[in-house]
C-alpha cells in the first residue's frame, strides 16, 4: 500500500556516494510519510523509530534478487514468541546498547580476563544459527525458535544472577526484546546488547574481530562469510 501510493520512480538517481545517500533518504522519507498516512487510515499507532539504525542499507555483489517482493503487515510481534514478549513496551527495548566498537572492547576484555566469570555472553539466536558462526565464548541456549528463549531464561536465572549479561543476535531485533525480558524478570540485573547485531559488527570488523564462522542471514544467501561484509562496506564508502 505504501509503495503503491508513494511511487519511488520520481526520485532522481544521481551518481556517486552523496547522490546515492540522497536517493536513499528521499526514498525513506517518502516511505515514512506513507506509513503515517497508512496508520491514520488503518486506525493504528503511528510507527516509531529510535535511530537511523532501525533502517539498514546493505550492498551485496550478486546477480540474484535477494528479496523479490515486499510485504507490509500489521503484526503483534516481528519475531513470534507466542505472545510472551508482545506486551513489552518499545521504550523498554531501547536501553543499554553497545555500539560495535564498544562491543569489540568488551570482547577484548573478556579474552584478556580469561572469559571472566562475572560476565555472561548469550547468543539470542537459534541453535542452527549458532552452529555456523558465533562470538568467542558465547552461550548457546540451544533453542529451535525464539519462542523458546523466555523458557531458557527462566531455567537459568540462577546462573545469570549478579552477572553482567551481554547479548547479541543477527540484526539486533531479537536481543532488544530478549534483554528487556531479562530486565523485567530479574530486577537490577546489568544487561547490554549489541546495537545492529552481528551484521553491524562485521561491517566494522569483518574477519579481524571476535566473530568466528559465518553469519546466518534471512535471504537466498543463507550464510555470509565475515570478510564479505568488509567488501560491502568498502564498496559503499
Per-residue pLDDT of 104-141, as tens digits, reads 999 999 988 876 678 999 999 999 999 999 999 999 99
Q: Are 138 and 169 in contact (CB under 8 A)?
A: no
Annotated catalytic residues are 169
- The full DSSP string for 72-112 is ----S-SS--TTSSTTS-GGGTS-SEE-HHHHHHHHHHHHH
Q: How confident is the model at residue 56 (pLDDT cuts 50, 70, 90)?
A: low
**Looking at residue 66, what is its pLDDT?**
64
For residue 36, give every residue at least 6 positions away whose Cβ sits within 8 Å of its Cβ, in sequence order, or none.
46, 47
**Looking at residue 234, what is its pLDDT?**
45
How many other CB atoms are found less than 10 A from the CB of residue 223? Answer: 13
**Looking at residue 232, what is its pLDDT?**
44
- Residues 4-52 have pLDDT tens digits of 444 444 433 334 444 444 455 566 677 777 777 877 887 877 766 655 5
Mean pLDDT of the chain: 78
Distance CA 2, CA 30 (A): 9
- Residues 171-212 have pLDDT tens digits of 888 988 899 999 988 888 999 999 989 988 998 998 899 999
Mean pLDDT across the stretch 63-73?
A: 68
Higher pLDDT, residue 183 or 63: 183
109 CB burial (10 A radius; 0-12, 13-18, 19+): exposed
Whether the predicted pLDDT of 231 surpasses 60: no
Cell numbers 519475531 label which residue?
79
Amino acid at each position: 500500500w505504501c509503495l503503491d501510493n508513494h511511487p519511488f520512480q520520481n526520485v532522481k538517481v544521481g551518481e556517486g556516494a552523496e547522490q546515492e545517500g540522497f536517493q536513499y533518504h528521499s526514498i525513506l522519507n517518502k516511505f515514512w510519510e506513507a506509513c503515517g498516512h497508512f496508520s491514520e487510515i488503518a486506525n493504528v499507532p503511528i510507527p516509531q523509530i529510535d535511530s537511523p539504525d532501525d533502517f539498514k542499507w546493505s550492498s551485496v555483489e550478486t546477480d540474484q534478487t535477494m528479496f523479490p517482493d515486499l510485504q507490509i503487515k500489521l503484526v503483534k510481534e516481528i519475531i513470534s514468541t507466542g505472545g510472551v514478549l508482545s506486551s513489552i513496551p518499545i521504550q523498554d527495548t531501547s536501553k543499554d546498547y553497545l555500539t560495535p566498537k564498544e562491543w569489540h572492547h568488551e570482547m577484548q576484555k573478556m579474552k584478556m580476563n580469561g572469559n571472566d566469570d562475572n560476565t555472561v555472553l548469550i547468543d539470542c539466536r537459534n541453535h542452527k544459527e549458532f552452529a555456523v558462526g558465533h562470538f568467542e565464548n558465547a552461550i548457546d541456549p540451544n533453542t529451535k525458535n525464539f519462542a523458546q528463549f523466555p523458557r531458557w531464561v527462566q531455567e537459568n536465572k540462577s546462573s545469570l544472577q549478579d552477572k553482567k549479561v551481554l547479548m547479541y543476535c543477527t540484526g539486533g531485533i531479537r536481543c532488544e526484546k530478549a534483554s528487556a525480558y531479562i530486565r523485567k524478570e530479574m530486577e537490577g540485573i546489568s544487561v547490554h546488547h549489541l546495537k545492529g547485531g552481528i551484521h553491524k559488527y562485521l561491517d566494522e570488523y569483518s574477519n579481524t574481530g571476535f566473530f568466528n564462522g559465518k553469519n546466518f542471514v534471512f535471504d537466498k544467501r543463507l550464510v555470509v562469510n565475515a570478510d564479505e561484509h568488509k567488501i560491502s562496506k568498502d564498496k559503499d564508502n
